Structure 1
Amino acid sequence: MIKKIFFLFTVLFLNILVVVAVSIGQDRQKSERIISFDSNIHIYRNAAMSVVETITVYSAGKEIKRGIYRDFPTKYKDRYGNSVVVDFRVNEVLRDGKPEEYRLEGLRNGVRVYIGRKDVFLNPGRYTYTIRYSTNRQLGFFKAYDEIYWNVTGNGWSFPIDRASATVRLPDVSVGEILEIDGYTGFKGDKGKDFFSSTRSPGTVLFQTTRTFKPGEGLTVVVSWPKGYVTEPSIATKTQSFIRDNLGTFTSLFGLVVLFVYYFTAWFRHGKDPSKGTIIPLYEPPDKFSPAAMRFITNMGFDDKVFAAAIINMAVKGYITIHEENNGYTLLKRGEGDSLLSREEQVAASRLFGSSAKMVKVDSANQIAINGALVEMKRSLRNSLEKIYFFTNKKYFIIGLCISVLIMIGGSVLGEKDGLPVAAFMSFWLTVWTFGVAILLMQVVSLWKSVVSGGTHRRVLFFRAVFSSLFAIPFVVAEIGGIVALALATSVFIIVIMAVMVFINALFYRLMKAPTIAGRKILDKIEGFKMYLSTAEKDRLNLLNPPDRTPELFEKYLPYAFALDVEQEWSQQFSEVLSRAYASDTESSPQWYSGPSWHTKGISGFTSSFGDSLASSVSSASSSPGSSSGGGGGGSSGGGGGGGGGGGW
């Protein structure tokens, strides 16, 4: 009895297994899939290829509603980042042996072939699609052999593939002359060997898979043969193709030459400096120029040290006192020496103190007043000195900048026509963004310089510098991301050309500034005065009747030494004189300055760091916060030519 019951349960269990297996098999058969993918690849002597793909699918009306689509890559990058564009032409498309309507749609890296009509929906069932197409530039020509390294199915299919095969036909190559037969299966990058290969007739190799592929898996084949059976393209043909494929790079390179020629011509005609005259040491400022005016003429432009030099000069003249504390600098109005101020110093003082203020702290709380003083001083110096003593020739620089933008956009667009929106936008955005990031980084560098040269308020400056550095990091990361995005949309060489272009613009921005004849004469005199300020003790005897060294002379010309970047040399000349003077005087520091740096750093250390530290504080206060072989095991699934994938629509 027990045996009969056990037997009945066994039979019942087996029947259930059969029913489940049949049900699973029926569901599997009814699921959308590629039943077979057969590719017939014919290689010709002229290195061209014709391919016939026969794809049998099962449609359940889910994804495969009207038909299928097939993606064919036509744009690749070689090992150096150069573009390689292969030809691709569809010759015929069939469905179940009859002509079928199709259309082509461009992709970023190739072409998509939509098979079927928008208004015709398929009934569930099996359909066989045949795609005949021609292509070239798919073969690898190496020193000792030639090769086809071909992704048969592609790794972009959204359906499983039950079976795949590939037949490679070579021109006049006997079976014994084939050097290597290899292949890879699996996901992109895998080196699976789920296939077998055979040679049926001379020059014909058959590949057949041995398992079902999951969505995203594919078959890649490799066949190599001796040189001489297929004609390798000539150097002229390769060069022509290379230029065509990398038209954007060559356009940008040509534009780079045009930009340099333009700038050089503009510089030669309008920016070339007059010849220097004889430099004679001068013992007083030439033509009674103020320190700010002298630096403005020397640099042919305005910077923070122009303003800082004016502040120090105003203090030396008795108009203000500079008070240094742990948290920065404060300017105290004394009301003396008004008549001694130069024009640009007067307009700056007017904006700083207004009609009633007696004290201005150099920090962001007084940003409006300090920034207003900077703007007014710059306007005053430009109106009185520019075009009389020098020309900036900015209009030629702006033209060059516009040429640069056009070259970058044109090169990016020609380099990636299908990526036009991305390339054009990234070129324009990156151009503007780079200038903004450069300004931000210059401010960060300025703050760190002030930390190095700062006085007792170095701790505050350190935290400001750290905050500014952290604030700049996202912008720098975005800059790097933009460069990478543009490189992916175009090529690495476009980025290199852009970098050279930025350098050329920066170089000629400085070179285009040129002194007038009158300006050259003044510059020679300024050079003579600078020679006196920077003369070392051992060379002092070479000067003719230099004035005696006194504390008054040191303070009088200190703003000029700072404006001409020789404050260190000037202070070293007076180290002994000042040490004796302040040691015997009740005043232990100049009347125009109060603070600890004079004592903690000494005279030489004070003068070398005070000006830069003041300039950095002014800057902070005036700114708003804020192609390879696949043989020898070196290939993988998804490598080589061909590939792509497909799906239903």
Structure 2
Amino acid sequence: MGRLARIGLGAGWPLALLCALIWPLLSWAQESPPPEQVELPVAAQSPVDDPQQERIRFWDIDLQLLPDGSLRVTEKITVWAQHLQFKNGIYRDLGGSYFDLYSGMKSAEPKVLSASLNGVPVRFRLETVASGTRVHIGENSTALGPGQHDFELHYEIPHRVVTTLASSLEWTLDGEWQVPVDQTQISIHLPSGVDRSSVQIEGSPRAQIELPASGPLWVVADGRMWPGEQLSFELSFRPAAEHAQSQWSERWRNLPTGHRWAFAGLVALWSYFLIVWVRVGKDPSPGPRTVSFAPPEGISPGGLRMIERLRYDPDCLVADLIALATAGQLRIERDAAGITLYRDADSAPTLMPLAKLKAALFDRSDSLRLTRSNGSRLRQAVSRHRQALLAVHERQHFVSNFRYWWPGLLIALLTFATLILLQDNLEAVAIGAFMTVWLSGWSFGVYVLISQAWMLWRGAESWGGHAGALFMTLFSIPFVAGEIFGLMLFTATTGLVGLAVILVALIALIGFYHWLKSPTAAGRQLLDQVEGLREHLHQFDPWGQNGGEIDWMIGYAYALGESGAMAKRLRQKLNEVGRFDTGPGWFRDATGRVAELSDIVDRLGQWLSKSLGEGLAKRG
């Protein structure tokens, strides 16, 4: 009507009449289907909404869960094509990654069996994409005519059903095509013998779940799905009894190659360490033991502690500090703020470790307060004292066998590299490698922070000391939380099996680092003498024929962990003879809380250890 009005009547009315007759025919010709579409089914000629818009009319997925954990899938996709997106065929993105509790992040690699178009087998090709594997169905050389086409795809995904305490499957459809999907449904066939009462299934908000007493389970979209929308479900069930045993063997076969080789590396690591330990790490058999009324000649209390424990610790220094005090080389004063050491004699001790320790303590002044302000001097004293003890006793009284530990470390590093680099998922390899490097440095930092907090708590006596320890503890909490998060992310990458491999290997490295240490024959004889000295500390008589001067015993009692037993014995004998317990001249307590020698014997080592720990702690 509008077009005729614009043409108008008059001399041109024959032309206007001709246009009025031809125009409806032209419009009918534009809306009618092309000749090749006449043969298509009625449904294909009458899609809902706009026939010019491409869409997925039906998307039917049939999932068959096999007893071995594999998944057999049949997808039927009915396409309304207009040569826009669907020109030569259709594609599907399959695979991707999923999480297995035991083996971590895994790739779901599909095995495409066949494809068909309108009931006729058709060629397909595979392409690796970021999301997994893309399957192209159709011939590049053959155009897909406008109209409805039925695609069918058959494929399998090995080991897709995850088995832990129960079998589980997560499945997500997020149509990769930028077209709407009119109808979507998923049918799920469970393995035979599954107890239906154990089946649990949850779906996404748009999923309608049907859980019949028999037959397949159904997950159906509640309407048309638009591009970007997802349809997903999470299914769990208890496997049939006849399949439970086979699933354990399947679980081993399902582990990534790196995990299985890592197990072999773990066996090699422990086998190597056990063989080496039997050959060089076993302690010599103990000899006869007799009560010793004197300490081993030429061995300081700190050296005796090192030989017995086969390692150096700060209490070795504390024991030798007491030995210097009882020998008149220094004086110890304690007040409410802490402990101060004073040089007493100019002559050097006869034992080299004690001489080195005294020189390091008083190299700048005749006094040293055990506080963090003097931390550098204290750390220097610890270092020189440790080196002096090792120079005297290592190889003569014990051997570290450290050269046998290095090959074990190499085996462990190869095991870690195999575990990370031979996973079947490149994303897992990248994350695992990064987390291994990151956790190595981060864990060391967390260890240092926790150690400093512990030393501050040990050395805290005043409110200021407690405040500093509390601050360091609170400061460490975020770093500990980061450590936990890192371990969780590492577990998500390698699974519990990978984490267990790492932990068991670390136990071997740390354990055999100490277990490979062994006393020599001379060291074993010395340890037998130490046991005799320990018995003497439990039964000595301060005024008997075997008593004598008791000051020298205090350092050795602390070194052997017998300070409490010695103090108890001292109080017992003092009560028997009715003598007053007075403190020694080499110790002065300005707090007024301690006056008896037995209390000094019992608690001096603890006070020194706490003050030393506070002094050695680095400033936050």
Distance 1:615 1:148 in 2: 55
Q: Could you give the per-residue CA deviations for residues 243-271 of structure 1, whole angstroms, max 9, x where no partner exists?
A: 24344443333333222211111111111
What's the counterpart of residue 111 of structure 2?
A: 89
Residue 384 of structure 1: CA displacement? 1.8
Per-residue CA deviation, residues 534-573 of structure 1 (Å, 9 max, x unaligned), is 3388xx99xxx75236xxx232221111111111111222
CA deviation vs aligned residue, 1:477-515 (integer Å, no higher than 9, x gap): 222112111110011122233223323333222211101
Quickly say closer, same or farther: Cα 1:600–1:44, change in 2 above 3 A.
closer
Q: Indicate conservation of the 8 Å contact 1:597/1:606, yes or no.
A: no
The alignment status of 1:39 with 2:39, answered yes or no, reads: no
Superposed CA offset, 1:562-619 (max 9, x none): 111111111222226678999869xx63221222467348554443332133123223
Question: Once the 2 structures are TM-superposed, how far is the Cα of residue 192 of structure 1 from its aligned partner?
Answer: 4.2
Structure-1 residue corresponding to 2:555: 559
Larger Rg: 2
Which of 249, 261, 278 is equivalent to 1:268? Answer: 278
Distance of 1:582 and 1:330 partners within structure 2? 33
Give 1:378 shift.
1.3
Q: Write the distance in 2 (CA, Å) between the matches of 1:169 and 1:567.
A: 72
- Map of 1:407-556 to 2, 5 A cutoff? 407-418=415-426, 419-431=428-440, 433-451=442-460, 457-535=461-539, 547-548=546-547, 553-556=549-552
Change in Cα spacing, 1:29 to 1:500, as seen in structure 2 (3 Å) is farther
* 3-state SS of paired residue (1:321): strand
AA aligned opposite 1:548: G
The alignment partner of 1:335 has SS state of: coil
Distance 2:305 2:520 in 1: 16
1:395 aligns with 2:403: yes
1:207-245 CA distances to partner (integer Å, 9 max, x unpaired)?
864412353431669999xx9xxxx98977973564243
Partner residue of 1:17? none
CA contact (8 A) 2:96 2:107 kept: yes
CA distance 1:245–1:289, change in 2 (3 Å): closer
Cα-to-partner distance string for 1:82-105 (whole Å, 9 max, x where unaligned):
788755134678999997876223
Q: What's 2:223 paired with?
A: 211
1:646 matched residue in structure 2? none
Whether the 8 Å CA contact 1:148–1:222 is kept in 2: the answer is yes
Asked if the contact 1:34–1:56 (Cα under 8 Å) also holds between the matched residues in 2, the reply is yes
Provide closer, same or farther for how the CA distance between residues 241 and 487 of structure 1 changes in structure 2, counting only shifts above 3 A.
Answer: closer
8 Å contact kept, 1:77–1:83: yes
2:332 counterpart residue number: 322
Across the aligned residues of Structure 1 and Structure 2, the Cα RMSD in angstroms comes to 5.1
Alignment of 1:369-388 (within 5 A): 369-388=377-396
Match for residue 301 of structure 2 among 291, 308, 316: 291
- 1:90 and 1:352, CA in 2 relative to 1: closer, same or farther beyond 3 A? same
For residues 32-83 of structure 1, give each alpha carbon's deviation from its aligned partner in whole angstroms, at most 9, with x where no partner exists: 996435235486999873523527489999x999999744346545676778
TM-score normalized by structure 2?
0.73
| C-alpha spacing 1:94/1:274, structure 2 compared with 1 (3 Å) | same
Q: How does 1:344-383 map to 2 (within 5 A)?
A: 344-354=353-363, 357-383=365-391
Q: 2 CA distance for matches of 1:369 and 1:60?
A: 83
Unaligned segments of structure 1, at least 5 residues: 1-27, 174-178, 452-456, 627-649
Q: Distance in 2 between matches of 1:609 and 1:64?
A: 86
Q: Which amino acid aligns with 1:165?
A: T
Deviation string 1:336-385 (CA, Å, 9 cap, x unpaired) is 5x24352112222222222x512211122222221111111111111122
The C-alpha deviation readout for 1:285-324, integer Å capped at 9, x for no partner, is: 1123211221222222211011111222212222221122
* Contact 1:93-1:101 at 8 Å conserved across structures: no
389-398 or 426-435, which deviates more: 426-435
TM-score w.r.t. structure 1 length?
0.70
Single out whichever of 392-401 and 240-249 deviates more from structure 2: 240-249
Residue 311 in 1 paired to residue 321 in 2? yes
Question: Which amino acid is 1:367 matched to?
Answer: G
Contact 1:292 1:309 in 2 (8 A): yes
Deviation of 1:437 (Å)? 3.5
Task: Report the CA distance shift for 1:607/1:401 in structure 2 as closer, same or farther (over 3 A).
Answer: farther
Alignment check: 8 A CA contact 1:344 1:381 kept: yes
**Aligned residue in 1 for 2:351:** 342
Q: What residue identity is the alignment partner of 1:421?
A: A
Distance 1:376 1:164, change over 3 A: same
The answer to whether structure 1 residue 625 and structure 2 residue 619 are counterparts is yes
Q: CA deviation at 1:276?
A: 0.7
- Taking the aligned partners of 2:58 and 2:333, their CA distance within structure 1 comes to 85
Q: 1:223 to 1:501 in 2, by over 3 A?
A: closer
CA contact (8 A) 1:49 1:135 kept: yes
Per-residue deviation, 1:415: 4.2
Pick closer, same or farther for the CA change 1:267–1:234 going to 2, 3 Å.
closer
Q: Is the contact made by 1:30 and 1:58 (CA closer than 8 Å) also made in structure 2?
A: no
* Secondary structure of 1:324's aligned partner: strand
Q: 1:14 corresponds to which residue?
A: none
Q: Which moved more, 1:608-617 or 1:129-138?
A: 129-138
Identify if the C-alpha distance between structure 1 residues 608 and 434 changes in structure 2 by more than 3 Å, giving closer, same or farther.
Answer: farther
| CA distance 1:39–1:440, shift in 2 (3 Å) | same
2:396 alignment partner, SS class = coil
Deviation at 1:391?
0.2
Residue aligning to 2:77: 54
Query: Aligned partners of 2:218 and 2:376: how far apart in 1?
Result: 80
- Given that 1:88 and 1:136 are in contact with CA atoms closer than 8 Å, whether structure 2 keeps it comes out as yes
Query: Offset at 1:194?
Result: 8.0
Aligned residues of 1:93 and 1:102 also touching (Cα < 8 A): no
Once the two structures are TM-superposed, the CA of residue 195 in structure 1 deviates from its matched residue by 8.8
Q: Per the alignment, in what secondary structure is the counterpart of residue 54 of structure 1?
A: strand
Question: In the alignment, what sits opposite 1:154?
Answer: 173
How far 1:436 sits from its partner (Å)? 4.8
- Secondary structure, counterpart of 1:193 in structure 2: strand
Quick check: 1:134 aligned with 2:130? no
Structure 1 Cα separation of the partners of residues 578 and 90 of structure 2:
93
Other structure's SS at 1:491 match: helix
Distance 1:600 1:60 in 2: 98
Report the Cα distance in structure 2 between the residues aligned to 1:446 and 1:345, rounded to whole angstroms.
Answer: 24
Q: Alignment partner of 2:395: what SS?
A: coil
2:94: which partner in 1?
A: 72
Which SS does the other structure have where 1:287 is aligned? coil
Taking the TM superposition and a 5 Å limit, the aligned residue runs for 1:18-33 are none
Aligned length: 551
Structure-2 separation of matches of 1:213 and 1:510: 64
Identity of aligned residues (%): 20
Distance across 2 between alignment mates of 1:358 and 1:420 = 59
1:9 equivalent in structure 2: none
Q: Aligned to 2:134, which of 96, 110, 113?
A: 113
Q: Is the 8 A contact 1:41 1:50 kept in 2?
A: yes
* Deviates most, 521-530 or 411-420: 411-420
Q: CA deviation at 1:413?
A: 3.3
